[in-house]
Amino acid sequence: MRRVSACCFISLFSRTNQKHKDKDKDKDKLTQRSREAMENPMYNAGNNVEIAVRKANDSNHGCATNIVLNHDFSEGLHLWHPNNCDGFVVSAESAHPEGTSEKLGGNYAVVSNRKECWQGLEQDITARVSPGSTYTVSARVGVSGPLQGSTDVLATLKLENRGSGTSYLFIGRTSVSKEKWEKLEGTFSLPAMPDRVVFYFEGPSPGVDILIESVVITCSSPSECESVSQRCFDAGDENIILNPKFEDGLNNWSGRGCKIVLHDSMADGKIVPLSGKYFASATERTQNWNGIQQEITGKVQRKLAYDVTAVVRIFGNNVTNSDVRVTLWVQTPNLREQYIGVANAQATDKDWVQLQGKFLLNGSPSKVVIYVEGPPSGTDILLNSLIVKHAEKTPPSFPPVIENPAFGVNIIQNSSLSDGTNGWFPLGNCTLSVATGSPHILPPMARESLGPHEPLSGRYILVTNRTQTWMGPAQMITDKLKLFLTYQVSGWVRIGSGASGPQNVNVALGVDSQWVNGGQVEVNGDGWHEIGGSFRIEKQPSKVMVYVQGPSPGVDLMVAGVQIFPVDRQARFRYLRRQTDLNRKRDVILKFSGVDSSTLLGTVVLVKQTQNTFPLGSCVSRTNVDNEDFVDFFTKNFNWAVFGNELKWYWTEPQQGNFNYNDADEMLALCKSHNIQTRGHCIFWEVINTVQSWVQALNKNDLMTAVQNRLTGLLTRYKGKFMHYDVNNEMLHGSFYQDRLGKDIRANMFKTAHQLDPSALLFVNDYHVEDGCDTRSSPEKYIQHILDLQEQGAPVGGIGIQGHIDSPVGPIVCSALDKLGILGLPIWFTELDVSSINECVRGDDLEVMLREAFAHPAVDGIMLWGFWELFMSRNNSHLVNAEGDINEAGKRYLALRKEWLSHARGHIDDQGQFQFRGFHGTYSLEIINSSKKVSKTFVVDNGDLPLVVPIDL
């Protein structure tokens, strides 16, 4: 704890575990979508994700001079982070700051809604400072709000070290009144380089806004700072877009299938540039891909990540909002075309919106064009600016500091209802009362987490007079939640009579304006049902409400034993290690022969496992093959592969009769050369929006012919080359083929596929099976779906659980595996990914899923749905950063692979034997005595009895 100013003290815990709130909608000039993009931790270096290296806009403060980026707020709050408060940027060209008499010529930042003295505005400067150099700070600051007299504004450094915690370095202060701007000056020097350096402003009393016009931090000894300067320039600081703000007219720009026009204003002066003097419009657009473009061939390097920022809006054709995208068109030397989505946002005709994204080129292109596209034909795209710069390296995440997590402690007040409905309130005009007759036992998934526990009270909440589906019992839990903790949800639910059929019941959380799913279950009117789920909050909310909802209006709802508690993952891991030893290891007896046993006694034996045979695979894409770094990591750390898109029907036959198998062929060749097995994903996909338009347009007879041709063409071409096929993807969530061709089509797809390639295991594959958050794909529904297929003669050979999961809880996942395991079919996690803005928490999530799957006897393999940043379907889910740096989640994966290899050392006993217990897989053996060293290899396969391996010397 340290003194911040005369008005308050602050603990390290409170500073490191809060997040900034949503910004004031009335004051921010940008649209809501733009504000959310700028406030999103994905775009802030202070939250440990990659951002663009940007030099200050003032030409007098280049990279080697001013180390503060966006120093005059000309790019809004980009790179600046309000610390647990609100922030926005105001143009000073048309307004005076409140309480000041000075008119400014540029922008200034306002930090508002400050509840503590230490709250202010911060920027991560880790990559731009070095130890031993002296830095000078100069800033223009002001204040506004409820203030009598003057107050101090401070400049401070926050120094974070994973090993020794966080410390603070005072830089300087100035006394400020509401009447004018003041200069804040100071110096600092770092004797050693911490893991992270954050510069920030703080100081005034709560309620007083801090105003910041400009910030300059310079190195007082330029020669000392030369290496930092060089590092900044080497990172490709310059914007590679020529004429990015149209100050040179339309030079270097062109229309992509349309015309472009330069403007200083439009719509009778109602539309003016957000910054600069001009903007361009893409007009006379007849296709959604028409837009404004610039060729950047030769300006971007392969295997380097680039940040992209564009300021756009739309105009005309009575379209008030539309998706606008930044896209790369890439042509390879062999004339293959690629389209890479970079950024997208909902743009409006009311205000400018900022698009931000990132891209990386794996190969060496012959031509690269960046363009803006998206809205329907007839709608103009307006572009104010486009910036493309090399992305800065991502600082590593630190494990979140969570004091007293209270694992297993229910945060729900009056869960037993011993105090009536105290603590609960009705959401809507429904009525709550207490009745008796609910189960006294904990729901099974909670029992797995909590162990021995007090029985439930038998009391439940009866909800009557429900006139909307969302009506039910509710409780506020804002102050009881801790950021980055994973919470398990558990309870019993039941519905009253009068329902027309099964009803969906949901434990939901209202987190500010967002809905978070805490678990769902389909309930019949025949008794109590367990409801379970999980959630995690990673951004400080202002209000969190939990409520139970779902049945149709008029149907009574009964809720009992609601529990929400943080889970102890480490305790679960200890249990899973024991299960892993039981299910994935085998006793091995090495029995030596060929020489006199007396001469072997005491001989040294070294056993080393070279490969665990359990399948650990990943999704790959054709473009990844061009990146040697990607291929190196993939081939060293995975033994199975699945293709992201290249085997799907819309990829292999995008237009009828126009086939593309080249990508899949090249990827198969790579896998074969590295002895990597492959899964075929997927032959068909039942979800209608994944079916190419020419297939959707076919009549019934032609569609049946096309389906048969697809099966014959694919499975004949690749017979024996794919070990598995996902035959018809996501049948629990789509029904395109069944609706058009009848119920038998699904089973017939399996039958025909088996006839064409009997060697391949044929899988069903679906999502949200394992997490309790989707009633359409509950384990019970999945089991019935598989049984229905088998009854029709479908040779279902395996169960695919995709595994796109949030905040996983082991017992919930294990419960689903236990249920599915009764079918006796091999279970695979086929598309596993987890997501968290904190790489350490992401690593925890990944470890939960990998350990649960590896420890469970019914699971036969795990496929990750990618591992490399920018080539995954979900943000904040990668294990390797775009330019090849392994992050904390990736290190966790590698540590588990190492843990699941067995090694043993000892001596041959008097029976001529050496015994150990090891994982299934391939082993090398060395026998060393005084006269010679002998090397052998052997394999440990699955089995209940000890494996006797004869070793002939």
Rounded to whole angstroms, the Cα distance separating 833 from 863 reads 9
Q: How far is CA 883 from CA 763, 873, 875, 879, in A?
A: 35, 18, 16, 12
CB 293 within 8 A of CB 342: no
What are φ and ψ of residue 899, in 5° steps?
A: -65, -30
| Beta carbons within 8 Å of 121's beta carbon, 6+ residues apart | 80, 81, 82, 83, 87, 109, 111, 200, 201, 210, 212
Rounded to whole angstroms, the Cα distance separating 923 from 936 reads 8
Strand partners, 281: 261, 382
CB 584 within 8 A of CB 854: yes
Quick check: helix, strand or coil at residue 715? helix
Report the first-to-last Cα separation within the chain, whole angstroms.
68
CB 310 within 8 A of CB 360: no
Q: Number of helices and strands (H, E) in the chain?
A: 17, 47
Quick check: helix, strand or coil at residue 637? helix
H helix intervals, 535-625? 569-584, 597-600
In single-letter form, the type of residue at position 20 comes to H
Strand partners, 217: 137
| Beta carbons within 8 Å of 573's beta carbon, 6+ residues apart | 847, 851
Helices 810-821/779-791 angle, 10° precision: 20
| Beta carbons within 8 Å of 323's beta carbon, 6+ residues apart | 344, 345, 346, 347, 374, 375
Rounded to whole angstroms, the Cα distance separating 451 from 77 reads 48
Query: What's the token pair of residue 294?
Result: 């610039």
DSSP class of residue 1?
Answer: -
| Beta carbons within 8 Å of 655's beta carbon, 6+ residues apart | 692, 694
User: Count of CB atoms within 10 A of residue 844's CB?
Assistant: 23
CB 471 within 8 A of CB 426: yes
The torsion region of residue 437 among left (phi > 0), alpha (psi -120 to 50) and beta comes to left
What are φ and ψ of residue 434, in 5° steps?
A: -110, 135
Radius of gyration of the chain (CA): 31
Rounded to whole angstroms, the Cα distance separating 99 from 16 reads 32
Instruction: Name residue, tokens 């143009």.
Output: 91
Q: Which contacts qualify for 160-163: CB closer than 8 Å, 24 or more apart?
A: 160/194, 160/195, 160/196, 160/197, 160/198, 160/398, 161/194, 161/195, 162/195, 162/396, 162/398, 162/399
In single-letter form, the type of residue at position 463 comes to V
CB 56 within 8 A of CB 70: yes
**Which amino acids are annotated catalytic?**
730, 831
CB 528 within 8 A of CB 570: no
Nearest to 176 by CA among 68, 102, 116: 102
Nearest to 41 by CA among 81, 96, 97: 81
| Beta carbons within 8 Å of 717's beta carbon, 6+ residues apart | 661
Rounded to whole angstroms, the Cα distance separating 171 from 188 reads 6
User: Count of CB atoms within 10 A of residue 799's CB?
Assistant: 26
